Amino acid sequence: MRKSYVRLKFLYIIIAMSFILNTISITYFFPPLPSDLKHSAVDSRTWNDNILSTIERSTKALEKLERLLSNVMSPNDQPWIWISTGEYPSVPYQPTKLLNEHIPKTLYNITKLPKSVINEVNRVCKRLKECDKAGGEIWCKLFQKTYVNTLETTTTLLDDNSTYIITGDIDLMWLRDSSAQVHQYLPLWNDSDIQRIIEGLIRRQIQFIYSNPYGSAFRLKLRPNPPSDDSLLPIHTRKGRNVHVAMHNYELDSLCYHIRLSYSWWKQSQRTHVFDDQWLVAISMIIQVMIIEQHHTQISPYRYTELQNNYQGIPVAYTGMTWSGFRPSDDPTTYGYLIPSNMMASVVLEQLTEMILNLFPEQIQLLQQIAQLRADILSGLNTYGVTDHPKYGKIYAYETDGFFKYLLVDDANVPSLLSASYFDFKTPYDPSNKLIQSTRQFVLSKNNTLFF
C-alpha cells in the first residue's frame, strides 16, 4: 500500500512538472499579443469586417471616379471607359477620329526670359565668382545654361491660359517631369510672368488628369508624319494611348507630383485663384484612384499590356498601401507596392490636408478620405514595407507584394529610398529615423545591386 502511494505521488509530481514546463515553453515561444492586436487576431469576425470595409471603400471610390470623369467630359468626348475584351484595351478611351480638333493654340514659346530669372542668374553668378576666384566663371556659365533651360527649350504658353512643358528630349509632357522642371522658379513667385507659367502648368495638368487619371505622359496633338506612337495603330491603342494620352503607364508618383506642385506654389505665393473647383475635381480623382489601388487585384479596372497576369500585374495582398504599375523610371514594378512612391504619397496627402482645410473646409468627406488613406499607407509601410537585412538590420524594401516578397534595390529617381528625406518623409512608426538611416546605408553599398 505504501509503495502504491509513493508511485502515485511520483506520477502526480511528473504531471505537475510537465504542465509547468509546457506553460513556460508556450509563453516563451508564443508570447501574448499586444493589447492593440488582440481583437484583430482573435476575433476573426472583426478582422473580416475590417477587410470588407476597405474593399467597400475602394468600390465606392471607383464609382465616384466614374461619376467625376463623366461630369468633366466635353460634348465631343467619350467617357474614360474600361471594356473587357480579348485584347484589352482594344477600345481606346477617347475616339481617335477627333484627331486634332479643339486643341488650344500656341500663344508663344518663351524667347525673352522673365526679369526675375535674369536677376536670379546675376545674383547666383556673382556669388559663385566671389566664392571661387579661379573657377567661378565656369560655374556661372553652367548655372546660366541649366537654370533657364526649362523656359528656353521646353515651355509653351497656350491661348487657354495653360502652359505646356515637354520633358526635353521627348516632345511629350509628363506630370512628374513638368512639376520638377519649374520647382526652381517657385521663389520668384512675385513675377507676373512666373505666375502665368506655373499657374498655367497647374491648369494644363488638371486637363490631362481629366483625360486619363492613370496616364503619366500626355500630348496636345498628334504630330504630322508620325514618328511612332502618334500613328495610333492598334498596338498603341491597346496600350491605352489616344490623341492626348501618350503613356497609359500608371505611376503613383505622377499624381503625387501634381499635389506637390500645387502645395509648393500655394505655400510660396499664397495665391489661391488657380485652386478652384476644377482643381478640386482633379484632386478628388487622384484620391479615388489611390483608394481604388489599395485593392488593386480585387477592384482596379487598370490594365496594361506590359504587365503580367492578363495585363493586371502579379496578385498583391491588401496592405493599406496603394499600388503602382510603374516606377518613376517608366519600368514596370515587380511587386506592385512601390515603397518610395507610397512614402511620397504620405507626404503630399498631409500637405493636401492643409490646403483643403484652408481653401475648401466644407469638403469634410474628402478630408476624411485623405486622412484614412494616409493612415493606411503609413501603417502599411511599417507593417509590410520593412524587412530584416542580415547586415543592416531593419530597412525599407524598394517593393513588396503584401505576401512578404521583397525587392531590395533602389533606383536613381525621385521618389526613391535615398531621396525620402529630400521630400520630407516622416512616420510616427520611426520618429528617430533609424529605418531611414539603415536603409540609406544599404542603398549606398554594394549590397544594392544597382549601386555603382
pLDDT at 89: 42
CB of 182 closer than 8 Å to CB of 196: no
Grouping H, G, I as helix, E, B as strand and the rest as coil, residue 395 is: strand
Sign, CA torsion 123/126/131/134: positive
Of the chain, the percentage scoring pLDDT greater than 90 comes to 67
Separation CA 148–CA 154 (nearest Å): 10
Separation CA 124–CA 143 (nearest Å): 8
Beta strands in 308-438 (DSSP E): 337-338, 386-389, 393-396, 399-400, 406-407
- pLDDT tens string 96-127: 444 445 677 777 677 789 999 999 999 999 99
Domain locations in the chain as residue ranges = 58-113+148-443
Q: What is the DSSP string of 7-76?
A: HHHHHHHHHHHHHHHHHHHHHHHSPPPPHHHHHHHH-HHHHHHHHHHHHHHHHHHHHHHHHHHHHT--TT
CB of 171 closer than 8 Å to CB of 226: no
Computed on alpha carbons and rounded to an integer, the radius of gyration of the chain in Å comes to 27
Separation CA 396–CA 417 (nearest Å): 8
Residue 38, CB-side half-sphere exposure with 13 Å CA sphere: 6
Q: What are phi and psi of 333, to 5 degrees?
A: -70, 155
Answer yes or no: pTM beyond 0.95.
no
Q: Residue 236: beta bridge partners? A: none
Residue 383, CB-side half-sphere exposure with 13 Å CA sphere: 15
Copy the grid coordinates of residue 272: 489661391
Separation CA 343–CA 425 (nearest Å): 6
Structurally, what CATH architecture does the domain formed by 58-113+148-443 represent? Alpha/alpha barrel (1.50)
pLDDT at 418: 98
pLDDT at 57: 96
**Which residues of the chain are modeled with pLDDT < 70?**
1-52, 74-102, 108, 223-231
pLDDT at 222: 77
pLDDT at 2: 44
* Burial (Cβ within 10 Å: 0-12, 13-18, ≥19) of residue 302: buried
Q: Return the DSSP state at 295.
A: G
pLDDT at 279: 99
